[in-house]
Amino acid sequence: MSDKSEDRLALEARADALGVSYQWNTGDELLLSRITEAEEAAAAAPQAEAQEEGTATAAPEPEASAAVPQGDENDVAPWGLTDDDVLIVTGPRKGRWRAGLKFGPEPVRIPVSELTDEEVEAISGDPKLTVEVEDGSDD
């Protein structure tokens, strides 16, 4: 049982490099799925560090939020959101990374003003995340 195929060894090497956890009896298809998910998250959020994987906080990096253009005519307009709105995002039990943030079963509140259009699109377009919008205006 100690003989592993070259494909399995390659999968395990990729998983180890990405910090994807698995057990010896995890199937190849499931492991590949986890690797793909981790690679997508890493591509969507290159600023995410490995030490952030254990946190459930949604606080963006200060320089990332400072780069968000304020008052831009295209800012979150395609989704009908304003900078006053708040996204309430819930992810799967085992967690899911999107836009440099980790989402799990506990709802995470993110002011829209702290997200770029691309981050809003990545979060709201992810079928494994439940996104609610709280109107932050004082109407």
78 and 110 in a common domain: yes
pTM over 0.85: no
pLDDT above 70 for 74: no
- Answer yes or no: are the C-beta atoms of 63 and 108 closer than 8 Å: no
- pLDDT the model gives residue 103: 93
Residue 87 has pLDDT above 60, yes or no: yes
**In terms of domains, do 94 and 124 share one?**
yes
| Euclidean distance between CA atoms 79 and 65, whole angstroms | 19
Are residues 24 and 84 located together in one domain of the fold?
Answer: no
Same domain for 81 and 13, yes or no, is: no
The rounded distance, in Å, linking the Cα atoms of 2 and 88 is: 46
Number of domains in the chain: 2
Q: Residue 22, exposed/middle/buried by CB under 10 A (0-12, 13-18, 19+)?
A: middle
Instruction: Verify that 100 and 139 share a domain, yes or no.
Output: yes
* Domain membership of residue 2 as a residue range: 1-44
Whole-angstrom Cα distance, residue 96 to residue 126? 10
- Could you report the per-residue pLDDT of 14-53, keeping only the tens digit for each? 888 878 888 878 888 888 888 888 888 777 665 444 444 4
Task: Say if residues 75 and 100 touch (Cβ distance below 8 Å).
Answer: no
In terms of domains, do 12 and 64 share one?
no
Amino acid making up residue 133: V
Same structural domain for residues 69 and 24?
no
Average pLDDT of span 54-67: 44
